[in-house]
Amino acid sequence: MADSKFRRELGQQLRVDSVRAAATAGSGHPTSSMSAADLMAVLLDGHLRLDYEHPHDPHNDHLIFSKGHASPLYYSMLKAAGAIDEAEFATYRQFGSRLEGHPTPRIPPTDVATGSLGQGLPVGVGIAWAGRNLDRLPYRVWVLCGDSEMAEGSIWEAFEHAAHYRLDNLTVIVDVNRLGQTTETMLGWDVETYAERARAFGWHAVVVDGHDVDAIDAAYAAAESTADRPTVLFAKTKKGKGVKAVEDLPGKHGKPLDDPEAAIAELGGQRDLAVQVAKPDVADEAHVFAVDGGELPTWEVGENVATRLAYGQALAALGSIRGDVVALDGEVSNSTHSELFAQAHPERYVEMYIAEQQMIAAAVGMQARGWVAYASTFAAFFSRAYDFIRMAAISRADLRLSGSHAGVSIGPDGPSQMALEDLAAFRAVHGSTVLHPSDANQTAQLVAEMADRPGISYLRTLRGKTQVRTRPDEKVFVGGSRVLRSSEDDHVTLVACGVTVDEAYKAAELLAAVGIRARVIDCYSIKPVDAMTLLTAAAETHSVVTVEDHWPEGGLGDAVLEALAAFSPVTVRKLAVREMPGSGTPEELLEAAGIDAKAIAAEARELLAERHAPVG
Amino acid sequence: MADSKFRRELGQQLRVDSVRAAATAGSGHPTSSMSAADLMAVLLDGHLRLDYEHPHDPHNDHLIFSKGHASPLYYSMLKAAGAIDEAEFATYRQFGSRLEGHPTPRIPPTDVATGSLGQGLPVGVGIAWAGRNLDRLPYRVWVLCGDSEMAEGSIWEAFEHAAHYRLDNLTVIVDVNRLGQTTETMLGWDVETYAERARAFGWHAVVVDGHDVDAIDAAYAAAESTADRPTVLFAKTKKGKGVKAVEDLPGKHGKPLDDPEAAIAELGGQRDLAVQVAKPDVADEAHVFAVDGGELPTWEVGENVATRLAYGQALAALGSIRGDVVALDGEVSNSTHSELFAQAHPERYVEMYIAEQQMIAAAVGMQARGWVAYASTFAAFFSRAYDFIRMAAISRADLRLSGSHAGVSIGPDGPSQMALEDLAAFRAVHGSTVLHPSDANQTAQLVAEMADRPGISYLRTLRGKTQVRTRPDEKVFVGGSRVLRSSEDDHVTLVACGVTVDEAYKAAELLAAVGIRARVIDCYSIKPVDAMTLLTAAAETHSVVTVEDHWPEGGLGDAVLEALAAFSPVTVRKLAVREMPGSGTPEELLEAAGIDAKAIAAEARELLAERHAPVG
C-alpha cells in the first residue's frame, strides 16, 4: 500500500507552494488550488505515468488542468516532480516566465492552454480518442475540472462524446469546492446529483471525499480498472482547505492570501518533498497508418465543380498520401464532402455530431499528439466554436478548418446558414491563415499546403459549382493570388475571392463591351494577402473595386485596403498586438506589444522622418 | 375530450403542406417536418394560447422552433391558424418572402431566428424567465427541438438553467426521429436515456409516442399541471412519417420528396382545415417595475477610475431611471461590476453562471419581450457565444453587451483572459455598434445611449484604472470621438481607444519634448467611426498612427484605414453584403447584395467616371 502519510504531506506541500506562488506574484488563485491539492498529490504519487524528463514521449499520460486558474497547484506539481526548480517556480506570472497565469504549452508537458473554462475536458476527449484509435497506446488522460465549469455546455458535449466512443482511458476529476467567483454554484456540494448526470450520460461516476487520500487512491484505481466507459470522480472539497482565514469562505476567489506567512505556518510550514512520478510503459510503438500513396486530384479548365467537393476529394487523396491526416466533421459530412475521406479512411475519421465546440477541441487534442487534423462544418457554424479557436491559437495548435456553404451564394436556406463574418473572425485569430479558393484546382493545392502550415488555417468553400479557371499545373500557394485577366493599360482592377471571382470575370466582360479594360485578381489567399500583386495593379490602374460575399468589415476589402494604404499621401501606421502575449504587469505587456507611449512616439518620429516632415 | 380525429387530420394536413412547400420551393426539410406534425397538431388545437391576429400581445404563449429547418411545418401551422394565406404560403424560400428557409421574426409571431441548432431552447429559457420574473404573466413557452441538436452543449446549459430557475412555464418537445443529416444520432430512439438525463438535470420528463395524438395531449396536460420545474417530452417519431418512400429512411434529409404528388395522395390528399387557436387570458397586465429616478454618475476630470466600474455604476443608475432595464452576468459580476446593478435591482438581475451561450440567448429572449437587456462578462468570453450573437443579429435583436478585461493591459492572468479579437468579431456582426471608451464619463454616457440603440451594441471596458479626461458635461455619443490635444499645425495624428488613449497622450508629450506636435484623437466609437474628425486630422497632418490593445486585424486600425481610404490616389471601393439577406436563389441574392457582375461593372464605371479616367 502506498504511503498515505507521504501523500498527505505532499498535499500540504502543494498547498503551501500554491500560497507562496500567489503571494510572490501578487495575484492568482491559491484557494482554487488548495481544494484540489490532495487529489493531485495522490495522482502524482501512484497513478500518473509521465516521464517529466521526456515530456514529449508518446507513451506519457496526459494531465490537463481544465480549471486553468489553479495554475499555482499545477506549477507546484511540476516542482514536486522535478520538472522545474525553485528559481523558476518563483517567476510565476512574471513577464517572460513560462509559468503564465494560466498554463500554456510554453511549459512542457502541458498539451494545451486552458483558462477559458470548459475547454480542457473536451480537449482531453480528443487526446483520449487519439490514444485509443490513432496512437493505440495505453496512455491515460487525466483532466482536473472545476465544479463551476460544469455549467458550460461544452462539458456536456464532452461527456456525451467520451461515453459514445467508450473512452475508458479518460478520467475526469471534478473538484467540487462549491464556491465560484462570486457565488455558490447551482449544485453546491450536491455531488450525488452530479454523479447522476454523469451516469445518465453513460459514465462510471464515483463520489469521493476530496481530502481523503486513501479514498482518492481507491477511486483512481477504480477508474483504471473500468473498461468500456470513462470515469469521473466528483470530489467534495473545501476551497482554501487548510487555512481557516479562507477555507470554504466566499469572497476569497482569485487573490493571494492576506497573510501568507501565517497560512504557511498553519499548513505546517514549507516542505521540500520530491515525487518519483511513475514512468510510462514504453514497450509498444505508437501506431502508424500504412498508406498507398497517390496524387492530389486535378480538374480540367472549364469543368464546373463545387470547391467543397474538391475539398473532400483532395482530403481523401491526402489521406492516401500521408498516414498522419485525420478528419472530423460536425454531422454535415455529405455537405462539406469530408465523407469522401471517411469512406476512404474510416479509421481516421471521427464523427463529432452537432457539437462544434467538441469538434474543435478534439482536433486540438489530436494535434497535440502530432496528428494532422482537418475539421469541417458549415462555415457559419465555426462561429459556435470561436472561443475554442481563439484558445487553440494560445495553445500554439496547428489546425486545418474547412467551412462550406459560405455567404449569400448558398441561396434558399437563409442567413442562419450563411457565413458572412467568417473571414473577419478568422483573420483576427493570432497567426492564422485565411484562404478562399475560387475553383477546384486551387482548393486541392491549398488543402495539401495546409497540412504543414503552422497555426490555425481556415479554408472557405462554396456550396455551388464554380468554373475551373486555374490550370492543373499552375502553382497555387498561401500568400499567392491569380491574375485572371490583365493588359498593360487596364483602367481598373477588380479584386475578388470565391464566388465573386466568376462575377468579377463577367463584370470585366461587361466593361470590355463599353471599352473599359478591367484587370481581375483572384485573391484566394486573404491572410496573408498578396500585397505585391495588389500594389502593382493599383499602381497601374489607380482604381480598385473589391467584391466579397461577406459583410464589409474585416474581410477581403479590409485586407486589400491595408495592403494599398502604402499609396496614400496620408501615411497610416497601425500599432497593435502582433505577438502572443504572456503574463506580466500591464506596463510590461503594453511595452512588449509595442503599444505604449514610447513605442507610439518612436513610430511617429520614424514616420515623420521618412516623410521628411519638419521634426525637432 | 378534444377531437382526436380532427387532430390526426390536422397532423396529416401539416404533413401534406410540408411536402407541398418543399416541392414548390425545390428545397427544404419536409421529412424533418413530417416527424413532428402530430406533436404540433395537438399543440395548435388545444394547448397553445396565442392570438395570431395580435401576434405582439404580451399575454400570448410563445412557440419556438429550435429545429428551425422544420420551417415547412412551422409555416403550415401559420396557415392552419389563419396567420398566412395560401398565396403567401406558396412563396416559401422565394426571394423577398417572409417565409425564409429558416424562421425569422420577419414573420410574426416568430420571436427569434433559428437555424443554428441548439439555440431556440436557450432563448426559450430567457422568455420563460421573463414571463415568470419580469412580465409576471401566465404565458407558456413551447419549444420544439430536434434530437440531433441534443448534442449541442448549449442545450444542456438551458436544461440546467431552466431547472435552477424552476421555469414551470417552459415545455420542451423533442422530436426524436432518430435520424440526423448523415447518420443516426448517438442515442437513436433511446428515449428513456434522454429522459434520465433530463431528470438528472431536474426536469419533469415524459416519454411519449409522437404519433399518438391522445398520448401527446395527455403529456401536454401533464406539463401544464407540473409546478416548480420545466417539462420535456421525448417523443419517439419517424422521420418522413406517413410516406413510405422516405419514412424512417436514411439519406432523406433536407430535400423535397422525389414524388410529391404520390406522397400527398398517400397522406390522404390535400386538406383545408382551419384551427381556432385558443386566445390567451388577458386579465392581468404585464408587470412594470417602479423606479425612483436619479441621474447617471459623473466623475471629476483627473480622477482615476476603471471603465468597468463606471459601467456598473452607470448601469445601476440607469436601472433606477428606467424600469425596463435588466442585467445578466456570467458569474463574474464582481469583475464586470454588474454586481452594482444586482445589488440595486435584485429583481431585474439574472445570474447566468459560467454559461455564456445561455446568457446571450436569455438576453435575446428577454428583449423579444421588450426588456432592455445588458449582458456582461470578460470581453474574451463573448467569443464563446459568437454564434449566438451572430444569430441575434438575424433575430433583429437589440442587445447591449459589455466585455471587461480587454487586451494585454489586464496583465498577469495571461492571454486566455485577454480579449484581442473582440473589436474585429463585433464589427463583423451585422448592424452592430462597437464602443471602447477610455474613461468613466464616456462610459456612463455610452451605457445610457446603448439602451435605445437598435441592434447589437458592444462596449469594451478596462480592468485597470484610467484617468478621467472627459468633462462631466461634455457630450459623448455613438459615432463621436474626442480630440484630446491639437493645434493648427500638428505634425502627426495619434488615434487611440481605451487604454491606449493614455499612452497616446503620453506619447504626445514625449514628442512635444522634441518639437513634434501630435494631435491625439480618442476614437471611443469604433463602429460607426467618426470619419469626419479623422479625415480632418489626416488632411491637416498627413501622418497618422493608430494604436490599439487588439490584434492588428479588424479593429481600430482597420476602421481608420477605411475612413482614410478616401485620400488615396488609388480609389478603392468595397463591395460586400451590407443588408441582412433572406432566402432566394444564389443569383437573386448576389444581385440583391450588390456583389454580382452587374453591380461590379456599375461600380467600376462610376468610380472611373468620378476619376475622369478615360472611358469608352
Q: Residues B473-481: what's their mean pLDDT?
A: 98
What is the residue type of B568?
S
Percentage of residues in chain B with pLDDT exceeding 90? 97
pTM here is 0.98
pLDDT in tens, A90-111: 999 999 999 999 999 999 999 9
How many whole angstroms separate alpha carbon A578 and alpha carbon B547?
12
Q: Verify whether residue A603 is a known catalytic residue.
A: no
- Could you tell me the CA-to-CA distances from A547 to A292, B46, B558, B592 in Å, in that order? 42, 52, 17, 14
Using pLDDT thresholds of 50, 70 and 90, give the confidence band for residue A615: very low
DSSP state of B319: H
- Whether the per-residue pLDDT at B612 is higher than 80: the answer is no
Nearest in space to A472 (alpha carbons), one of A303, A280, A590: A303
Provide the CB-side half-sphere exposure for A355 (13 A, CA): 32
Q: Is B145 helix (H, G, I), strand (E, B) or coil?
A: strand
Q: DSSP letter string over A580-616?
A: ---S--HHHHHHHHT-SHHHHHHHHHHHHHHHT----
Q: Starting from the edge strand earliest in sequence, which strands make up the sheet with B482-485, in order?
A: A571-575, B543-547, B492-496, B518-522, B482-485
Among B357, B600, B606, B608, the residue to mutate for chain A (most A Cβ within 10 A): B600
Predicted local confidence at residue B616, as pLDDT: 41
- Identify the pLDDT of residue A614: 47
Chain B residues inside the 8 Å CB shell of A355: 151-153
Q: What is the CA radius of gyration of chain B?
A: 27
One-letter amino acid of A135? D
Residue carrying C-alpha cell 462550406: A404
Chain centroid to Cα A440, Å, comes to 28
CA of A177 vs chain B CAs: smallest distance (Å): 15
Q: For B139-188, how does the pLDDT look when each residue is reduced to its tens digit (9 = 90+)? A: 999 999 999 999 999 999 999 999 999 999 999 999 999 999 999 999 99
Residue B269: count other Cβ atoms within 10 Å of its Cβ. 10
Q: Give the pLDDT of residue A612.
A: 61
Burial annotation B483-496 (CB, 10 A radius, 16+ → b, else e): ebbbeeebbbbbbb
Looking at chain A from residue 330 to 349, which residues have their Cβ under 8 Å from any Cβ of chain B?
331-335, 339
CA–CA separation, B142 and A464 (whole Å): 36
pLDDT tens readout for residues B93-135: 999 999 999 999 999 999 999 999 999 999 999 999 999 999 9
Residues in a beta bridge with B329: B351, B376
Subunit contact B181:A334, Cβ cutoff 8 A: yes
The residue of chain A with its CA nearest to that of B329 is A182
Residue B503 touches partner A, C-beta closer than 8 Å = yes
Residues in chain B within 8 Å Cβ distance of A120 = none
Give ∠ CA B467-B468-B472 in degrees, rounded to 5.
175
Give the model confidence (pLDDT) of B63-82 as tens digits: 999 999 999 999 999 999 99
Asked if A146 and A33 count as a contact pair (C-beta separation under 8 A), the reply is no
- Residue B185: its H or E element: none
At A460 the pLDDT is 98
Q: How far apart are the first and last CA of chain B?
A: 78
CA gyration radius, chain A: 27
H-run or E-run covering B413: none
Dump strand ranges (E) for A301-454.
Answer: 304-306, 325-329, 349-351, 372-378, 399-404, 433-435
* CA atoms lying within 13 Å on the CB side of residue B574: 23
DSSP state of A131: I
| pLDDT value of position B571 | 85
Q: For residue A519, is pLDDT > 50?
A: yes
Tracing cell 484623437 back to the chain, one arrives at B521
Q: Is A23's Cβ below 8 Å from some Cβ in B?
A: no
Angle made by CA atoms A88, A91, A92, in degrees to the nearest 5: 110
CA gap B285, B273 in Å, rounded? 33
The torsion angles phi and psi of A47, rounded to 5 degrees, stand at -125, -45
For residues A471 and A523, is the Cβ–Cβ distance under 8 A? no
Q: In the predicted model, what is the mean pLDDT of chain B? A: 96
Q: A312 to chain B: which residues are within 8 Å by CB?
A: none
A101 touches chain B (CB under 8 A): yes
List the Cα angle B455/B581/B553 in 5-degree steps: 65
3-state secondary structure of A179: strand
Which residue in the block uniquely carries the three cell numbers 476589402?
A: A557
Nearest one of B506, B522, B463, B475 to B310, comparing CA atoms: B463
Give B311-341 as a DSSP string: HHHHHHHHHHH-TTEEEEESS-HHHH-THHH
CB proximity under 8 Å: B 311-330 to A:
none
Residue A283 corresponds to which cell in the numbers above?
Answer: 514497450
- Residue A440 in this model has a pLDDT that exceeds 70: yes
- Where does the pLDDT of residue A616 fall: very low under 50, low under 70, confident under 90, or very high at 90 and above? very low
**Segment B306-328 mean pLDDT:** 98
Q: For residue range A200-236, list pLDDT tens digits in order.
A: 999 999 999 999 999 999 999 999 999 999 999 999 9
How far apart CA B90 and CA B597 sit, in angstroms, is 30
Note whether A207 contacts B: Cβ–Cβ < 8 A: no
In the predicted structure, residue B614 carries a pLDDT above the cut 50: no
Omega cis (within 30) before B412: no
Choose the mutation target among A199, A408, A433 for the interface with B, i.e. most B CBs under 10 Å: A408
Residues in A touching B566 (Cβ below 8 Å): none
The Cα A158–Cα B531 span in angstroms is: 47
Given a cut of 50, whether residue A397 has pLDDT beyond it is yes
Instruction: Provide φ and ψ at B256, rounded to 5°.
Output: -65, 160
**Residues A270/A434, Cβ–Cβ less than 8 Å:** no
* pLDDT for res B615: 42
Backbone angles phi, psi at B434, to 5 degrees: -125, 120
The share of chain B scoring above pLDDT 70, in percent, equals 99
In chain A, the domains with their CATH numbers are 4-266 (3.40.50.970), 304-467 (3.40.50.970), 482-610 (3.40.50.920)
What is d(CA A609, CA A612) in angstroms, rounded to the nearest whole number?
Answer: 5
Under 8 Å CB pairs connecting chains A and B tally to 574
d(CA B523, CA B521): 6
Contact B604, B418 (CB under 8 A): no
The predicted complex's ipTM stands at 0.97
Which residue from B151, B181, B383 is facing A157, i.e. has the nearest CB?
B151
What amino acid occupies position B588? E
pLDDT at B455 over 50: yes
Distance between CA atoms of A134 and A43, rounded to whole angstroms?
25
Angle of helix B499-513 versus helix A586-593 axis, rounded to 10: 70
Tens-digit pLDDT profile for residues A576-610: 999 999 999 999 999 999 999 999 999 999 999 98
Share of chain A above pLDDT 70, in %: 99
d(CA B276, CA B60): 15
